[in-house]
Structure 1
C-alpha cells in the first residue's frame, strides 16, 4: 500500500504511526517524560535562535535606535516563524522526510527544488558571521579587551570552534541527541545568566520600556534602514523562510513517521540507514488518535519551548544593550557589537562582570555556530542521499561516509570566507538571504501539506499564516536587493 504525493519522487509507503511510548521507550508520557525524552528539536533550533539576531542584530538596532518602532518587528517575526516551524515539522512528522527532500515532490520536481534549496542554505550561511563573532568573544576572554578591527587571531579562534563542532558530532552516538544535550546546557545557562544579570543591572523602568516596545505598533525610528530591519526580522527567532533547514531533527528524534525513516548516527553510534523515500500512515481511527498525540507534542516543543525561549532570548540581550548604552554614553557599532555589552558592564562593575558577559556571549554565539554548521552538512547529506542511488551504493547505506567528509570540506571553505568582512556584516547578509526563502518555501509547504493524509492536513487559517510569512519577510528581502543594487524601496 502506498500514498502518492507530488511529482518526481517515489510514493510514500503506508504503515501505522508509532506511539510516543514506543519511540521513547517509556510506559507513559507524563511531565517528567515530556521534558526528559520528547522535548529536543526545539532546543537545537533555540540554540541557533539565541545567537546572531539576539546577541548581535537585535542589540545593535536597539542600542542605536531604542525599543519603540523596533520591538514590534521582533514580536511579529517570532510569531510568524513559530507558525512556520510547526508547518515545516508537520510534514516531517507525517512523512518521515526532511523538508529538503520533500521539496523535490513539488512541480516541476526534485531536479529544480532540491539542488536549489541546498544552494540557498549554503549561500545564506557560508559567510560564517556567527563563527567570526564567536571568535571575537574568545579573543576578548583571553586578552581582557575587545579585538582590534581586522585582527587575525579572532578568525583563528572561529576556525578552532568549527573544529570543536566537528569533534562534538564525531564523538556522538546519535548526532541529534548530542546537539540536544549540548543545547540543554548552553541554552539553560544562557537564559538563567541573562535573567540574573538583567535583574541585577537593568532598572524596572528599562524593563517596562523594553516590554512596551515589543507590543507597541509604531513607525520605525528615523535613521534605521529597512535592510537593518530586514536583518533583525530574518534572524529573530531563527532564519525566517529558511527555518526548514533545522526541522529535519524531528525525523532523527523519532517524531511520528520519523521513527520509521532512520537517522544520522555519530561515529560512535551504530551504523544506521535512512529511507531513500518517505513513509506515511493510513487514515483510520487508531492513526488519527496517534497523530493528535504527536501533534500536541510538537506544539509543546515549538510554542512552549522555542517561542518562549526565542522571545526571552531577544528581550534580555536587548535590555542589557540598552542599559550598556545608558551606562557608557556610547552606541554600539557593527565592528564592536559582539563585545560592547561586556566592555560596558566591565567598566561599570569590574572585570568579573566583564568576563561573565564575555563567557555568556561566547556561549550564545557558539550555540548558533554548532547548530548552523551541523545543519548545512545535514541538509546536504539528506539531499544527496535521497536523490542519488549511486551515492547510496557508494556509501553502502551509511550516510556518515558522506556527512563527515563534507563537514571537513565546509570547514575549510568557511575558514577562508570569514577573512573577507566584518562579522556583523556577514550576519546581516545571511539574515537577509534567509528572507529570500520566504518568497518561495511557504508556497511549497502549502502544496505539500495539502496533500498529506487527511488527519495531518493543516486547517485553512494555517495557509493564511504562511502567506503572511511570504508578505512580511519577502518585503524585507525585496528591499534588501533594491538597496544592494541601488536605492532601498523604503527609508525612514
Structure 2
C-alpha cells in the first residue's frame, strides 16, 4: 500500500480513500435528522466537560463577585477562539485518523519529546481533581440537605471517589466507549440545560438578562479588584480548556469521522476486540476525495459551531445570570468554598426545599458530566499514546487496548483520590485552568506545522493560522501572569 510521511520520528501514513459519511453512519441519506441522530457526538462530550468547570464554577463565581462588565467579553472571546481551535485540531484527526497526542509526535524533535511533554502538561492540569471534588460537594449537599462543614470535607472526597467508580462502570459496560459517553451526555447536558432555561427564565428579571448579554458582547476594562489569574482561570475554562482542548478531540476518530473510520476505536468490555491502528491513514488527493473532504468538514463545523459553541455560551450565560440575580437578592456573594452549592442554597431559601433539591440535582449532573469526560480523557490519551509508540506494549496486550485502558483507569482513580486532598475544589479548578493556558503557548504552533502538511484539500487557509496565533496571545498572556504571580506573589498586571 502506498504511504506518505508527515513530520518526523513516526512511521509514514498509509494512503486510502475517504469513506462517505453514509458509509460510516450506515444511512441511505444524510439529512438533518440523521445528523442529529448519528453525526453529532464529539462536541457533546466536550460540552459536557466544559459546562462543569468554567460555566458552573468559575464564571458564576467571577460574575457573582464582580458583575458582568469587564468579565463577559473574556467569556465570549475565549469561546470563539476555543471553538475555532477545536475545528483546527479536529481537522488533523479527520484527515489522518490520528489523535492529537499521537500526532504531536510527528512535530520536531519527535515523539520522544512531544508525547511525554503533552501528557505531562495535560496530567498536571487535570490530575488535581477539582472537578471531581466539586461533584462530591454537590452530592453531599443533595444527601445531607445542606452544604458540608469543614470537618466533613473527607465525606465529600469519598463521594467524589464513588462518582469516579460510576464513570468506570459506564465505560466498562459499553460496547463502544465514545458512544456510551455521547449517550450519557445527551441525557446529562440536555436535562440540565432544559432545567436551567426553565428556572432562569421564570426567576431572573429581564434587566439581569439584558445586562448579562450586554456584558458578553461589550469590550470593557476588567473590574477593579479582580486579578489576572482569576480572569485567566475564567478564560481557560470557558468553553473547554484553552490550549489543552486537544485532549477531547480523540472522539472524532472513534466516531468514525473521515479517516478515523479507517483507523479504529477503543471498545468497551462488551464490545469485543476491535482493531486500532497504531499509525494513522490519510487520503489521496483526488477530485472525489476533495469532494468528500468538503462534506466531512461541513459536518465538523456543524458539530463544533452549532452544538459546542452555542451550548458553551448558553451554559455560561444561564448560570451567571442566575448567580447575578441571587447575589443581588440575597446580598451575599459566593466564595471558593461554597460556589458549587451557592445557587441551590439561595434558591432554597427563596423558593423552598423543592427548588433547593432541584438545583442540587442540576449541579451534580453538571459536575458529573465534567468528571465523566475528564477522567475518561486522562485514561484515553495515555492509552492512545502508549499504544501508538510502544510495539512492546502492543504485543503484551495482544493488540487489544482494553487490556491497558481499564487497569490504568483504576490506577488514575487512585491518583485523583490522593490529589483531591490538596485544596478546595474551586481552587483546584483555577490551577487546572491556568495550566491549560500553558498549552496555548505550545500546541497551536505544533498544529500549524501538522495541518500545513495534510493532503492539499484538507490544508487550512492562511487566516486560520492567524486565528491560532491569537489563541497563543490571548491565553498565553494569562499563563505568563499566572507564573509571575506564583513566583513573585504579586500579579504582572493589576486592574
Q: What band does the TM-score fall into relative to the shorter chain?
A: over 0.9
Match of 1:432 among 431, 434, 456: 434
Instruction: Report what 1:87 is aligned to.
Output: 88
- Map Cα deviations across residues 91-133 of structure 1 (whole Å, 9 max, x no partner): 0000000000000000000000011111111111000000000
Match status 1:391 vs 2:390: no
- Map Cα deviations across residues 210-236 of structure 1 (whole Å, 9 max, x no partner): 000001110000000000000000000
Q: Any idea what SS the aligned residue of 2:180 has?
A: helix
- Measure how far apart 1:273 and its partner are: 2.1
Q: How many residues align?
A: 492
Hey, what's the Cα distance between the residues in 2 that align with 1:70 and 1:164?
Answer: 35
Contact 1:139 1:153 in 2 (8 A): yes
- Map Cα deviations across residues 376-423 of structure 1 (whole Å, 9 max, x no partner): 100000000000000000000000011001100000110111112101
Q: Any idea what SS the aligned residue of 2:150 has?
A: coil
- Map Cα deviations across residues 163-188 of structure 1 (whole Å, 9 max, x no partner): 00000000000000000000000000
Contact 1:283 1:455 in 2 (8 A): yes
- Measure how far apart 1:438 and its partner are: 0.1
Matches within 5 A, 1:177-188: 177-188=179-190
In the superposition, the TM-score normalised over structure 1's length comes to: 1.00
- Runs of 5+ unmatched residues, structure 2: none
Instruction: Report what 2:122 is aligned to.
Output: 121
- Measure how far apart 1:4 and its partner are: 1.1
Contact 1:74 1:214 in 2 (8 A): yes
Match of 2:450 among 448, 451, 455: 448
Hey, what's the Cα distance between the residues in 2 that align with 1:460 and 1:128?
Answer: 38
Match status 1:480 vs 2:479: no
Match of 1:155 among 154, 157, 174: 157
Match of 2:313 among 282, 291, 311: 311
Match status 1:78 vs 2:75: no
Q: Any idea what SS the aligned residue of 2:61 has?
A: helix
Matches within 5 A, 1:259-408: 259-408=261-410
State which drifts further: 146-155 or 358-367: 146-155
State which drifts further: 126-135 or 270-279: 270-279
Superposition RMSD on alpha carbons, in Å?
0.6
- Map Cα deviations across residues 344-403 of structure 1 (whole Å, 9 max, x no partner): 100000000001110000000000000000001000000000000000000000000110
Q: Any idea what SS the aligned residue of 1:481 has?
A: helix
Instruction: Report what 2:10 is aligned to.
Output: 9
Instruction: Report what 1:41 is aligned to.
Output: 42
Instruction: Report what 2:247 is aligned to.
Output: 245
Instruction: Report what 2:178 is aligned to.
Output: 176
Q: Any idea what SS the aligned residue of 1:79 has?
A: helix
Hey, what's the Cα distance between the residues in 2 that align with 1:419 and 1:356?
Answer: 28
Hey, what's the Cα distance between the residues in 2 that align with 1:419 and 1:278?
Answer: 40
Runs of 4+ in 1 over 2 A off after TM superposition: none
Hey, what's the Cα distance between the residues in 2 that align with 1:359 and 1:274?
Answer: 38
Hey, what's the Cα distance between the residues in 2 that align with 1:149 and 1:295?
Answer: 50
In the superposition, the TM-score normalised over structure 2's length comes to: 0.99
- Measure how far apart 1:149 and its partner are: 2.7
Hey, what's the Cα distance between the residues in 1 that align with 2:192 and 2:160?
Answer: 20
Q: Any idea what SS the aligned residue of 2:426 has?
A: helix
Hey, what's the Cα distance between the residues in 1 that align with 2:89 and 2:449?
Answer: 12
